[in-house]
Amino acid sequence: MNSNFFDGHDYFIDEKVNLFKFENVYKIFDEKGENIGAVKQILTFGQKALRFLVDKRMLPFKLNIVNNDDELQAVISRGFTFFMSKIIINDAYENPIAIIKQKFKFFKPTFKIEQPDGELIAEITGDWKAWNFVIKDSNQIEMGSISKKWAGALKEIFTTADKYNVHIDPLYSQNKHKVAILSAAITIDMVLKES
C-alpha cells in the first residue's frame, strides 16, 4: 500500500460513468485539487449481462482503489444482496481491513464500519436527499463528514452533483481506518444511487 495515499484528511471524489462498459470510475483528488488516484469498478462479462436481467441493487460489485501509478491500494467488494448491503474492504494483499454494513432506518441511511473481528470503527449517518453525512467513532465523537459541498477554490473547479468531499479530522491518524472510511463513502454513493 502506498503510505502517502491515505495520509491526507480531505478527499474529493468525482464520479465518471462509463456508459459503454457499464462501469463507474471515481477520480480522487487531494485538498490541493491534485488527482491522487481513482476507484475503478471491475465487472466480468457475466455481470454486465446480468444487469439487463436482474435488479442491479442485488448484483455483486468489485472496486479497486489505485494510486496515480495504477498501484492497488485497497479493494471494495460485495456479493449478491437482497436487502441490506454488506461490503468487504481488503488491502492490496487481500488482507481484510473492514466490513461495511448498511442498516435500515427510514430516511436516515446508516452504515457501520467494523473491523473484521466485529469491533466498531465508525458509523456514518446522514440525510441522503441533502447528501450530508456525519462520521462518528465508536464513542460517538464526530470525526469527519461526507458532503456535496466543496469549499474554497475547488468549489469553482468542480460544480456538478456527482462530486463530493470526504473529510476526516486531522487528529485522526489511523490510515487503515481511513481506507475503510473512504471506501464507505464510495459505497454510500453506489448503494444509495442503486436504491
What distance lies between CA 90 and its chain's CA centroid? 13
Look at phi and psi of residue 37 and say left if phi exceeds 0, alpha if psi is from -120 to 50, else beta.
Answer: left
Average model confidence (pLDDT) across the chain: 78
Looking at per-residue pLDDT, the higher value among 2 and 88 belongs to 88
pLDDT digits (tens, 9 = 90+) for 11-63: 998 877 655 555 677 889 988 888 999 988 876 666 555 555 565 566 778 88
Q: pTM higher than 0.85 for the full model?
A: no
What percentage of the chain reaches a pLDDT higher than 70?
70
Q: With 0-12 CB in 10 A as exposed, 13-18 as middle and 19+ as buried, what is 28?
A: buried
